[in-house]
Amino acid sequence: MFTGIIEETGAVKSVNRHQTGARIEIDAAVILSDLEIGGSIAVNGCCLTAIEITSEGFAADLSPETMARTNLGDLEPGRRVNLERPLLPTSRLSGHFVQGHVDATGEFLEVAPAGDDNWTLRVRAPEETLKYLVYKGSVTIDGISLTVARLDGDVIEVAVIPHTYRETNLADRRPGDRVNLECDVLAKHIERLLSSVQLPSR
């Protein structure tokens, strides 16, 4: 479980693709302080397991599902990625509950200046995620906990404060890039519960 508050950006060192997925190596610093083999780490909002750790970074395996459903399959050496360690029971929940289970990828449209170093981020979301997105609701974009400011058809608009813009990889994004989307898990649970309710017959 994560919060969507990015701790640092890491740099992709290598991506070794093979028939059953890939192994990725990422240079990092802050998150290494208590990372252990087998520990979880969110990379662009996707929960991965550290299988190797060095003084400069860590390695993780990507399954075929991860390669297909997330933007981690698009990564190349040198690209920056958003990193976050799991939530501790004693931590403050500064963002929202994020599972690290990416629902789909959206299309990055733009991150435009909104004055005073603030920014407006626009992403086109796929049809299957729209029912979980609501005005002022939470959405995770590339691991960043954000609040929906506007919905225009299939386009999500969120406000990005200066700190978030500086501390994440949003500045690297270009129109057409795939971004990872995770919808609020509470909305998905409610949908499941309501689908099992049988209304009384008249």
Quick one: what percent of the chain has pLDDT higher than 70? 97
Predicted TM-score (pTM) of the model is: 0.92
Specify the CATH number of the domain 8-84: 2.40.30.20
Q: How far apart are CA 179 and CA 44, in angstroms?
A: 8
State the pLDDT at residue 201. 65
Radius of gyration of the CA atoms of the chain, in A: 17
Arithmetic mean of pLDDT over the chain: 93
State the pLDDT at residue 200. 67
Tally of CA atoms within 13 A in the half-sphere of 71 that contains its CB: 23
**What are the tens digits of pLDDT across the range 70-80?**
999 999 999 99
Instruction: Break the chain into its structural domains and give their ranges.
Output: 8-84, 104-191
Top CATH class of 104-191 equals mainly beta
Q: How far apart are CA 134 and CA 103, in angstroms?
A: 16
Residue 86: partners with Cβ closer than 8 Å, 6 or more residues away: 1, 2, 39, 40, 41, 42
State the pLDDT at residue 199. 61
What are 140's strand-pairing partners?
145, 182
State the pLDDT at residue 202. 63
**What are the tens digits of pLDDT across the range 100-155?**
999 999 999 999 999 999 999 999 999 999 999 999 999 999 999 999 999 999 99
CB contact at 8 A, 82 and 165: no
Examine the pLDDT at 189 and tell me if it is beyond 90.
no
Domains 8-84 and 104-191 share a fold: yes
